[in-house]
Chains A and B, each alone.
Chain A
């Protein structure tokens, strides 16, 4: 198959982008002398986004104390900058992932659930093995498959064909993508992550989550790889063949072990049972992010 799909994607002018505020936040966060005031002012430039951040901050996912978090300043103080960036990224991505028309709705819906589930599972495993990724676990999970959005958006029929082919042939989705589209969601995702100026680990996660041994950021990419598989095992897949697998035989598992994480002491059965109802958590998360707020965020 020719390389035309990838070339076409490279040349698409109106490719979706993360909102400018999300990009700006990521840049700001890297600055050594950034103040909470700078950050909250940056977010307030996008009022609907600011409102969603406050809604998330007060949702069961984040709220810690009895007191309502009513300003972004307070949200950043209470949750920390990384969590606020997580929220902004997840809100932005979930908006991007919303289906644009009916034909792709069910696939997009499954896809969105898969991404959120991978993020939530990665976060749980991170807590157990103590990787302390400071929120990269969740964002990495959420964004590991962005290449699929683009393939689905611009080459919907062929992408669906690839998913079907992987079921018929019992092969991986990326092998089927290569056959039908001549490129993979990993390659496209890597391209997109770079184009969007996302932190380098996210390009790595996109490109290598199926073969994390090749990753530069081996720890986070392996973590996402494990979470990705577990999400699929919980039926939160996003089209295509769902494989049976032995977690301990996975490249990702071996990497994490080599890196010194306590993989042998993990109770894999228990982790699997714990995420059995992750679907409910995914739904709750998506509706918290997606619901339109009653009014604009209060400026404060």
Chain B
């Protein structure tokens, strides 16, 4: 069976990979580095079969020239974003948040004697991201946490995902990137399930929010950090520009936006300063 499938999926030549990579980047802002070729091959292999096409060249031509390609584009984006979330996803971003961004923002608040932090996990799915943010904040502040007024807003459009996030229960696989000592400190194990401890859960405020609801999104004000990872891909260009401009307004001066690890705002917004952290990019509002 596996052999049959493997032989049924055609190979992607380097040239076709480059064409598809550029096409996807241009249309979604998501970049597939050279070492992600086999990943793209696997994901698009499914789209090839769904469209009954013999090879990746034909698939590329369909995307580029077929007037009906708009619908396929949606399916393509769905297949290239894993739709998967996990604790401490994209570690260099989390490290930048922990080691560079939080200390910088906290220092600014301390200087103004306002011990208050507002963060937003925009598109929080099953809660892995906002709870990760909570754990990182606790790690940075330690005992000083109680002196601070901290709120992590976590929003999603899926009630199902939010319901799961409220239980704060996770399996071993979702916690695969979590260092053992963090697991011991912030989770309670029950068989194969791990529940996030109350001290972290109380920092997170889970809410339903549709990003198309411009009025409500506008009300989300005064954030120090926004994580909005792998969400923009679901918008078309115009909507992306509007939404990112809104996120800019939602941030405090000096605040940071993190988008997906290989996502780009290059053609979307020039308002932010692009900051290079070791292994990760962040967008700063000045």
Contacts and interface: CB of A to CB of B under 8 A. Distances in A.
Q: Do A and B come from one complex?
A: yes
Interface of A: 229-230, 232-235, 237, 242, 244-249, 267-270, 272-274, 276-277, 280
Contacts of B25: 270
A248 B273 contact: yes
26 contacts: A229-B276, A232-B278, A233-B278, A233-B279, A237-B278, A244-B96, A244-B100, A244-B275, A244-B276, A246-B275, A267-B264, A269-B264, A269-B265, A269-B274, A270-B25, A270-B31, A270-B264, A270-B266, A272-B281, A273-B262, A273-B264, A274-B33, A276-B35, A276-B262, A277-B33, A277-B34
Contacts of A235: 92, 278-279
B277 interface: yes
Interface of A is mostly: helix
A230 B274 CA distance: 13
Given A247-B276, A272-B281, 11 more contacts: A229-B276, A233-B276, A235-B278, A237-B278, A244-B278, A247-B274, A249-B273, A269-B31, A269-B274, A269-B281, A273-B31
Contacts of A276: 33, 35, 262
Given A244-B100, A267-B264, A273-B264, A280 B35 contact: yes
B276 A272 contact: yes
A283 B276 CA distance: 23
Interface of B: 25, 31, 33-35, 92, 96, 100, 262, 264-266, 273-279, 281-282, 284
Nearest to A275: B33
Nearest to A246: B273
Interface of B is mostly: mixed
B277 A244 contact: yes
A270 B262 CA distance: 9
A245 B281 CA distance: 10
Contacts of A267: 264, 266
The 10 closest A-B pairs by CB, nearest first: A269-B264, A273-B31, A233-B276, A277-B35, A267-B266, A276-B33, A242-B278, A244-B277, A269-B266, A246-B273
Nearest to B103: A170
A269 B264 CA distance: 6
Name the residue among B25, B31, B282 with the largest chain A CB count within 10 angstroms: B31
